[in-house]
Structure 1
Amino acid sequence: MNYLSSINVINNTIAAGRRHTVGIRADGTVIATGDNKCGQCNVSDWRDIVAVAAGNVHMANNTGNTHTIGLKSDGTVFAVGWNWHGQCNVSDWSNIVDIAAGWRHTVGVQSDGTVVAVGRNSEGECEVNNWRDIVSVSAGDWHTIGLKSNGATVAVGNNRYHQCNVSNWHDMVAISAGYLHSVGLRSDGTVVAVGWNKYFQCNLSSWYDIVAIAAGSYHTVGLRSDGRVVATGWNKYGQCNVNDWYDIVAIAAGCAHTIGLKSDGTVMAVGDNEYGQCVVSGWSEIRLPLRLKE
């Protein structure tokens, strides 16, 4: 079976990074809040954006250096923020249909199913040139995961905690990479995870009826088909306090905060707010996921 027809395509209309949050408005412009030390929130001049991705950094790294990626409707890509490793060198990319931002690398899926990557490659996280038939990617701090059109998955990069052991996953419709763990959503609405589990961020076997997933540094979030949200893992800053959320249509997980997009285009946030990354109460008319429009 070709899973291209069964995957619920969800454009990344919201994104959460280490200390910042990004959203696409209905008109294709972009809004951002939070730490702007590296210019990662300088997106006010972006136009015609269909997806965004925010580089994440685990909590132990106090620099907060990160970047933001935006995919335009014409398949080209914008990038702002920290570029020490060339992770923002995407101006020559074209025919891109999906994007992902890790800590120090950026990944893009081309319309022909091949993958491109720029940035730090010390752990092999950018070694994706031989990937084929890819429909979606996700980038962790030091590893990259790819979802194939047949529901299988591939991974490269740091595998110290077996976060790249996804070759036996099948029937997947979504993937998400955290700091040292990887999460996959099956077509039946159940979820699997591999990798570091110190904070129980991989304890997802009881989840069901899930339609979207998001992996933070040490926590994991799931969106149910009824618009409710579940979360597990590290909760020092309350980033897992989402049990009272409802009418949610998209989710994103940062290092220590969680974002939810409601069906009315407003946004909710919980977790670490030291840099104002959760100050989204005034946001409105954020673009709804593609799957809700089709």
Structure 2
Amino acid sequence: MENQLPQKLITLRKHYNFSQAYVANMIQVSPIEYMGFENGRLMCNLKQLKLLCQLYEISLDELMRNDQDVTLKTLSMQHQEGKKHIKKGYILIGLLLGLCLGVIYTSFFMHKPKKKVLVPMETKVDVLSASNRFIAYIDQKGMVFGQGDNNKGQLDFTSGDMKARKVVTGVNYSVVLYEDGQVKAFGFSEDYAKELDDWKDVVDIASGDGHIVGLKQDGTLYCVGDRGGKQCKVDEWKDITFISASRNSTVAMNRQGQVFYAGESKFEKATTALKDIKQIAIGENMVAVIKSDLTVECLSQFNGCNSQEWKDIVDIAIGDGFVVALNKHGSVFISIANVEIEKQVQAWSQIKAIDAGKDYIIAYDGIHLYGAGNNTYNQFIAGDQGNKTKLASPENLVVKESSSQVFFTWDNVKNASHYEFSINLEGGYNARVDQSQLAIDAAKFKDGQTYKIVLSALPSDQQFYHSDEVIFNYTYFAKEETLPTTTTSEDPVVIVVPIKYTIAPLIGKNKEKFETYLTALGVVNITGSESEELCQDQEVKIVSVTGIHEGMEVSEEQLKNLVVEYTYCKIVNTEESGSER
């Protein structure tokens, strides 16, 4: 008789609306291993069976014996319990065979030595990734956002209705894993990015400086991108449950805890010799590992890391000369020479995810981002959690439509520097703007369709938190422009009054954002030149503008005919320091 355990596991999980990753976490195995239980490729041991029984509140006999049905709780508002059976009535031979199978199975595992398995992180949330110039993160709704340098379009995320599961970053690109197992890159080489279209059933991703690794459901790997250092030589690796990548290397572990390595690294020999570990992070001059007892050990060319007091660690990250760790209670630990940064990081609490760039640390609590260290590219809003005040939420969203654009405006929020705006257009639309207005191409909208807009305010000062998100429903109706006419007939004359746009502040605005703003409004004739005024903080900003000014009210037709000239400040020292990663 066919073993009923895989089908019972599937039925129980779906009844309670649990994900495979959640159940895997509860019984202390990796998602890959749990998938093997459901498809019959692998068998649970006795400890795992008992944990499953505790999770679903059933007996071991119900779970294991083919002649016995499992009892499913009736899920209701009153939490009343009812009975629902998977199958009823087995013939006598099935009863006897099932009973024998259960006895043999239980006896086998009671006397079998415990097998070492890779236990997933209890509270690790893969929603945050840091490169040297930008960060990417996933919010509670599964939408992907980014902050910092966007020179290659690495933060131009689009996802449609598909929720993101994980995001990782390279030098100038981001990679997103979606719930359906598909992978998409932003800012990556077009030739390499096309290869991602063929990736299927991916359950995890990792990224180095120029290569992307994908873990398939069957425990084998994909790899695409720079192969100069042999970092993609992973074709023969099997039964993999954990992957990670650094600048020019790929590292993985299988179900037995064996470590695999590909690429060029001074730590190759030490890495592959590691035993009894759960997670590995590789930096330029250091390797940090989470051991099976949830402590941290560092292998370094220099002085290692001061991690002796760190306990219950579930995630680690490495920067240039420092290691940062997150424990299962949401506290953050750091080994770094900079005392000020150390105090700032240790003040964070209830953190769900961490990562590190070369010279900064970033953390996410599911709602707010926190950072410490070098913030040259505005990857984060500086400051620690401390005692902050929440910003007021944006109010009074007004939508104006023309034949070519849909223009959104809302009230300014005091102490807000930016606003996050998202609307569920086809392909998705997320934007971060520094003014309380936004224009979107009308061609992206469908006539008569209702859209959901999510809007929030971001703080300009470290004393404040993000505002709560506010949601607006908006129905788009296509607008046709009709010019004023005269007629001798009795038919009514339709006159459409041109929409007036109020120009936002321009002086002191970032040059790139200034040009983007005018282009979005429909201004065609824009000319800029460098002034003699020196830039502050190495950011190119607008010094003077002619042809348009703050508070000016102009129609769409007038905007097309404007001639705008502007000057911007001069950067004296353009030499960049440090690596781009």
User: Mean Cα displacement is larger for which, 268-277 or 230-239?
Assistant: 230-239
| Cα distance change of structure 1 residues 95 and 269 upon mapping to structure 2, 3 Å threshold | same
| Cα distance change of structure 1 residues 88 and 241 upon mapping to structure 2, 3 Å threshold | farther
- Output the CA distance in 1 between the equivalents of 2:226 and 2:193: 7
Indicate which of 109, 127, 131 corresponds to 1:17.
131
Give the letter for the 1:222 counterpart: A
Partner of 1:96: 202
Q: Identify, as 1 or 2, the structure richer in strand.
A: 1
1:29 matched to 2:143: yes
1:253 matched to 2:356: yes
Does the CA contact (< 8 Å) of 1:181 and 1:202 recur in 2?
Answer: no
Partner of 2:214: 108
1:178 matched to 2:283: yes
- Output the CA distance in 2 between the equivalents of 1:204 and 1:128: 32
Partner of 1:166: 271
Deviation at 1:130, TM superposition (A): 1.1
Does the CA contact (< 8 Å) of 1:163 and 1:195 recur in 2?
Answer: no
Q: Any stretches of 5+ residues in structure 2 without a counterpart?
A: 1-114, 382-457, 459-464, 470-581
Partner of 1:277: 379
Q: Greater RCO between the two (CA within 8 Å, min separation 6)? A: 1
Give the letter for the 1:221 counterpart: V
1:169-248 aligned within 5 A = 169-197=274-302, 200=303, 202-233=305-336, 235=338, 238=341, 241-248=344-351
Give the letter for the 2:274 counterpart: W
Does the CA contact (< 8 Å) of 1:219 and 1:235 recur in 2?
Answer: no
Deviation at 1:30, TM superposition (A): 0.7
Does the CA contact (< 8 Å) of 1:237 and 1:272 recur in 2?
Answer: no
| Cα distance change of structure 1 residues 114 and 195 upon mapping to structure 2, 3 Å threshold | farther
- Output the CA distance in 2 between the equivalents of 1:90 and 1:106: 9
- Output the CA distance in 2 between the equivalents of 1:175 and 1:19: 23
- Output the CA distance in 1 between the equivalents of 2:306 and 2:224: 32
Higher Cα Rg: structure 1 or 2? 2
**CA deviation vs aligned residue, 1:255-286 (integer Å, no higher than 9, x gap):** 22211122x5322111221111113863878x
Indicate which of 142, 164, 189 corresponds to 1:49.
164
Secondary structure class of the residue paired with 1:265 = coil
Give the letter for the 1:178 counterpart: G
Deviation at 1:44, TM superposition (A): 4.4
Give the letter for the 1:135 counterpart: T
Partner of 2:108: none
Partner of 2:120: 7
Partner of 1:58: none
**CA deviation vs aligned residue, 1:221-251 (integer Å, no higher than 9, x gap):** 1112332211124659948841211221221
Secondary structure class of the residue paired with 1:166 = helix
Partner of 1:129: 235
**CA deviation vs aligned residue, 1:79-106 (integer Å, no higher than 9, x gap):** 0114288377422111111111111111
Give the letter for the 1:191 counterpart: V
Give the letter for the 1:174 counterpart: Q
Partner of 1:59: none
| Cα distance change of structure 1 residues 208 and 123 upon mapping to structure 2, 3 Å threshold | same
Task: Normalising by structure 2, report the TM-score.
Answer: 0.43
- Output the CA distance in 1 between the equivalents of 2:293 and 2:282: 20
Partner of 1:288: none
Q: Any stretches of 5+ residues in structure 1 without a counterpart?
A: 56-64, 286-294
Does the CA contact (< 8 Å) of 2:314 and 2:326 recur in 1?
Answer: yes
- Count, aligned residues: 271
1:131-146 aligned within 5 A = 131-146=237-252
Deviation at 1:185, TM superposition (A): 0.7
Does the CA contact (< 8 Å) of 1:239 and 1:258 recur in 2?
Answer: no
Give the letter for the 2:120 counterpart: I
Does the CA contact (< 8 Å) of 1:153 and 1:166 recur in 2?
Answer: yes
- Output the CA distance in 2 between the equivalents of 1:71 and 1:88: 15
Secondary structure class of the residue paired with 1:52 = strand
| Cα distance change of structure 1 residues 159 and 172 upon mapping to structure 2, 3 Å threshold | same
| Cα distance change of structure 1 residues 11 and 225 upon mapping to structure 2, 3 Å threshold | closer
How many percent of aligned residue pairs carry the same amino acid? Answer: 29
Does the CA contact (< 8 Å) of 2:184 and 2:193 recur in 1?
Answer: no
- Output the CA distance in 1 between the equivalents of 2:306 and 2:238: 31
**CA deviation vs aligned residue, 1:203-237 (integer Å, no higher than 9, x gap):** 54553331211123442211123322111246599
Deviation at 1:140, TM superposition (A): 0.6
Deviation at 1:23, TM superposition (A): 1.0
- Output the CA distance in 2 between the equivalents of 1:158 and 1:118: 16
**CA deviation vs aligned residue, 1:107-143 (integer Å, no higher than 9, x gap):** 1111111111111122111111111111121111111
CA root-mean-square deviation: 2.7
